[in-house]
Amino acid sequence: MYPIPIYPSVSVIVPVFNEEDIISSCITALLSLDYPKDRLELIFVDNNSNDKSASIIKQYPVRYIFEKRRGRSAARNSGIKAATGEILAFTDADCVVEEKWLKNLVVGFKNGNVGCCGGRTVSYNPANFIEKYFDWFFETQPQKLASFTENYFIGPIFATCNLACRKSVLEEVGYFDDNMVAGEDTDLVWRINFKGYQINYVKDALARHKRRGSIGDFPELYFDYVYWQYYLILKYEKIVGLSYDFSRIARNILSSAAESALSLFKGRGKRIESLFHLLYVFSSILSLCSLIYAWFDIKVLGKKVFSPLGFNPKTVIWRWDGSGEALIMNLESKNGYRLNEIAARVWELSSGSTRPDEIADIISEEYDVEKEEMIRDVSCIIDDLKTEGLMARTSV
C-alpha cells in the first residue's frame, strides 16, 4: 500500500430507491463539493425504483446505473464494479454532505496502511424526537456503541452514509454482503480492519442525514440492528479470538439500560435528556427481545453464519481524529494499549518498509525536535511495539 496524492481520484456511490422527494438535494450537494471535478466521479445506482427517481437523476451531470436486484448492498456493489476511482466514497440518497466533506474524508488516507475512513453524521434538520434522540446518542453516548460487545476492540462501527474505502482493499477483502438486511456496512469495515488495515475516523468529514425516523419505525430499526450485530459477533468470534455468549451480551444490554434508568431517576441533566434516557431504556428492552430472537434463529434453528477466510491479524487499530492518539489491541494476548501521538505516528510509519532512521527523520521534521533525540525515541518505541506484538501490518 502507499499514501494517496493530495487529490486522489474518487468515485462517490449513492444507492437510490424511491427517493424522488429528496434525491435532488443529495445530488446538488455532491455537485457542489469542493473537490477537483476532473478527479471526481458521481455514481447514482437506481435500485429498481418505481417512482420518478430515475428521471430526476438523469437530469443531472452524473453517472446513472440501474440495478434490478433490490437491496442496498446489491446497489452499492454495482456501483463499485463500475467505479473508476482509486478511493470509493459512499453516502445515501437521503443525505446532504458538507462542501468540504470529501476533501476532509480523503485526508484520512494519508498513511499507506489505511483501508477505510468514516466521517461524522448528524441529522439534517431534526424534525422529531426520534431524530433528536439519535443525534444525542451518537454524540454523547459513544461508549454505549461498544457496550454491546463489551470490548472496544472488536471493531469500529462506520455507516455507509459517510464512508470511504480504497478500491484495491475492497478487491482484496470482498464487497458488501448482499445477503445481509442490515449491518452490512459494519461487516465490511470489520473485514477490512481484521485483514490488518488501519481504520480512521475523520470528524471533520460531515454528512447530514435526513433520517425521517419516527416512533413507529423505531422498533424495527433496533430489532434489525441488534439481530445483525449478534450475527456478526458469531461470525467473527473465532477469528477475533473473543467469546460472546448469549448471557454475556444480555447482561451488557441490561447493565447499560440500568445506567440510563439511574440517570433518569436521579434527574440528572435537562428534561429532554431525561426523555432520551427513558427512550434508551425502551430501546434496550427492544434490543433484548431482538437478541433472544437472533439467538433462537441462529443457535436453535441453525441459521448459517458464514466465516470469511484468510484473517489472521495480530493487531487491530482504532485511530481517532483530533487527539492524534491511537488504541491498539493485540488479538493474541487480548491486551489493549493506548499510544500517544508520537507513538501512534511511529506505528503508522512502520506499516511499510520505512527504516527507523527514516521514521525519525519524518517525525523530527513534523514535530520540530532534534533528530538524534528522535532516533533514540523511535528505536525505543519500535522495540516496545515489537515486544508487545503490536507492529503494523508490514513490520520494519
pLDDT in tens, 64-123: 999 998 889 999 999 999 999 999 999 999 999 999 999 999 998 987 788 999 998 887
Query: At residue 211, does pLDDT exceed 70?
Result: no
Stretch (H or E) spanning 114: strand 114-123
Residue 199, strand partner residues: 116, 318
Q: Does the pLDDT of residue 215 top 70, yes or no?
A: no
Residue 30's pLDDT is: 97
pLDDT, greater one: 291 or 329: 291
> What per-residue confidence (pLDDT) applies to 367?
78
Q: How far apart are CA 80 and CA 117, in angstroms?
A: 16
- ∠ CA 22-27-31, nearest 5°, is 155
- pLDDT (0 to 100) of residue 318: 61
Domain range 10-212, CATH architecture = Alpha-Beta Complex (3.90)
Rounded to whole angstroms, the Cα distance separating 353 from 364 reads: 18
**pLDDT for 313 beyond 70:** no
CA 12, 16, 18 angle in degrees (round to 5)? 160
Band (pLDDT 50/70/90 cuts) for residue 305 is: low
Domain boundaries, the chain: 10-212, 228-300, 321-387
The model's pLDDT over 167-192, given as tens digits with 9 standing for 90+, comes to: 999 999 899 988 777 788 888 988 88
Q: What share of the chain is helix, strand, coil (3-state, %, to 5)?
A: 45, 15, 35
Q: What is the pTM of this model?
A: 0.76
